[in-house]
Structure 1
């Protein structure tokens, strides 16, 4: 039987089992939430928001933003991460400075894989491949370390530094694999704990990535983890995990009604990028047939909304919510400013800060 036919049969079987899980979730200890194939229309941001504050970022020759990957608020400042820099604004949108220096020297960087801020001390942690750079609350260089592994994601939780590291094409017993570990570092930036997350065997080196990374979150005393797999596989990773006792255990499974399938390049036609877990909501970001969707699940009312491109704002435009403070149900969205004079340079975007009900 041809290989592609075997793949299609396997994917159909997986989809069938997923639908059974939706129907029988009352018998399972694992929480299961179903995502329908159809979408909800005319779902407005104002229906869910308690407060919305929009900040127009300053545009000048000193600061022209491109693709924004992440936003953090600390000490009445907005920290904006792009691929090549972290820019700092005040809450009125006025530009303050670029964090650190761009280059290859000590304390300098050319790309930013991830960054996080210790909300207690104000220390800022930035990673560029395997280099960890630490700045203090006045933006001065405090520490620089080259670690022995790639740093894909950084997160400060309860004053402790956590790292998610994905190694591509490592040798295993019967071939090669992509291997992901979670590390907790001590005050000397040495590994204090290692939690194996997953190992995926591959036929050749394959790299897949997504710029918006929200892989770890902490709600009250529970630590959660989701990291997408964006290389060709015969199934989609659709489960949010809880980290406990140096292990990861399934917490919530999201079953898509849409059947799993592979395109002619052996890529999934349904790609799940992020599962964001806040106190009152789950927010999923996924592509279906290369179109972006947002699934919003209200935990209090146990109701889900499947949205094409996001919630609708007061101007009738879809906006996509991304996390700021998950304990407080605080999110942000990015919106380009429209203007009539096309001869002038494009303005920096508007950042919306949203407190959900």
Structure 2
């Protein structure tokens, strides 16, 4: 009997040992795809300075900018910025000097009412998404009008892949699929996708409305589409035909999920029900970067960063809080380029009732190893 118990214990130990080895090997194999990233630095980081080093501050001059809704730093050094106040798309050089505004405000050819999002392709063609007019206007690198693509759906966010336009809006979640795909050449609508998750359906039934955030809720990487909804900490992955392949469910001590069973009373502020919101997703060098804003543990909101592999493994042990100089607002217009530079911005305090222009903050991402 004693011998039988001993053999049983040994068998259980061996099963446990093999299982642990398989789990560890799975993570090792995952990390082997990230040879140029210091995974250990991300895993052990406990503050922003562990991962990012401020390299440059770029003051914007020559054009009054209210605040930045979205920014893109090109390899040429040009900086493309949507002004959150005017909804114009403006271009500055690497020193922050204003170069030009793309398009004009209006409903005519080469005009738009709201620049909700923009994409710049490899030929430096510029695509501006106008959610109000429901169209995409295409310009060349110098800002000359090329053509206009009419769309039938409201969109806040846009990507272009394989001659197709993909649009997404969390505002659409109450009416079925939140995303749609159009042929870039013909402008014909091809299909809809990204129906609400069961969690979002419960929010809809309890009177939670779509949250419009001037951020980036849509990303494209290696023929996959990555979608986030501000109200749920989840990364949904689709193929280019709109088929959902996977959902990565995130978790953070600083992100408080919504109680989806609680009905919203319109007499109360939304912040009574919503304490945390996702507000950006970026994928660079096979690394998923998620940002979210949260009121958890504080009267003032803070912005946090989390890091994931493409397989859905969370790398950082604790969410990284962003510096106080970053605007603490619902949207977070971050960008990261192929060279490993991370971009944000700060809004200087008013001077003699004049609001200075935003300042672009350029950080070196220290986890990228050369």
Query: Could you tell me the TM-score, scaled by structure 2's length?
Result: 0.67
Residue pair 1:134, 1:143 contacting (<8 A) in 2 also: yes
Residue pair 2:92, 2:98 contacting (<8 A) in 1 also: yes
Equivalent residue, structure 2, for 1:71: 71
Equivalent residue, structure 2, for 1:336: 347
Distance 2:109 2:83 in 1: 20
Residue pair 2:252, 2:318 contacting (<8 A) in 1 also: no
Q: Which region of structure 1 is more displaced relative to structure 2, 289-298 or 86-95?
A: 289-298
Distance 1:269 1:301 in 2: 22
Residue pair 1:115, 1:126 contacting (<8 A) in 2 also: yes
Equivalent residue, structure 2, for 1:152: 156
Residue pair 2:171, 2:212 contacting (<8 A) in 1 also: no
Residue pair 1:296, 1:304 contacting (<8 A) in 2 also: no
Residue pair 1:226, 1:241 contacting (<8 A) in 2 also: yes
Residues 79 and 260 (structure 1 numbering): CA distance in 2 closer, same or farther, change over 3 Å? closer
Distance 2:353 2:275 in 1: 39
1:1-357 → structure 2 map (5 Å cutoff): 43-45=47-49, 47-49=50-52, 52-58=55-61, 60=62, 63-74=63-74, 75-83=76-84, 84-118=87-121, 120-129=122-131, 130-157=134-161, 160-164=164-168, 168=172, 177-192=175-190, 194=191, 196-199=193-196, 201=201, 202-203=204-205, 206-218=209-221, 221-230=222-231, 237-244=232-239, 246-257=242-253, 260-262=257-259, 265=268, 267-279=273-285, 280=287, 282-289=289-296, 291-297=301-307, 302-308=315-321, 310-311=322-323, 317=325, 322-325=333-336, 328-337=339-348, 342-343=351-352, 345-356=354-365, 357=368
Cα offset for 1:238? 1.7
Residue pair 1:273, 1:285 contacting (<8 A) in 2 also: yes
Cα offset for 1:67? 2.1
Q: Which region of structure 1 is more displaced relative to structure 2, 296-305 or 74-83?
A: 296-305
Task: List 4+ stretches of structure 1 deviating above 6 A.
Answer: none
Residue pair 2:158, 2:218 contacting (<8 A) in 1 also: no
Distance 1:246 1:297 in 2: 25
RMSD: 3.6
Cα offset for 1:350? 1.0
Give structure 2 stretches of 5+ with no counterpart: 1-22, 31-43
Residue pair 1:149, 1:167 contacting (<8 A) in 2 also: no
Distance 1:188 1:334 in 2: 38
C-alpha distance after superposition, 1:315-343 (max 9, x if no partner): xx56898543465543211112358xx33
Distance 2:314 2:251 in 1: 19
Structure having the larger proportion of residues in helix? 2
Residue pair 1:271, 1:288 contacting (<8 A) in 2 also: no
Residues 213 and 55 (structure 1 numbering): CA distance in 2 closer, same or farther, change over 3 Å? same
Give structure 1 stretches of 5+ with no counterpart: 1-25, 32-39, 170-175, 231-236
Residues 147 and 166 (structure 1 numbering): CA distance in 2 closer, same or farther, change over 3 Å? farther
Q: How many residue pairs align between the two structures?
A: 296
Residues 275 and 167 (structure 1 numbering): CA distance in 2 closer, same or farther, change over 3 Å? closer
Residue pair 2:59, 2:96 contacting (<8 A) in 1 also: yes
Residue pair 2:307, 2:315 contacting (<8 A) in 1 also: yes
C-alpha distance after superposition, 1:269-295 (max 9, x if no partner): 333333433334533213234622303
Structure having the larger proportion of residues in strand? 1
Residue pair 2:282, 2:336 contacting (<8 A) in 1 also: no
Cα offset for 1:68? 0.8
Equivalent residue, structure 1, for 2:11: none
Q: Which structure: larger Rg?
A: 2
Distance 2:212 2:124 in 1: 29
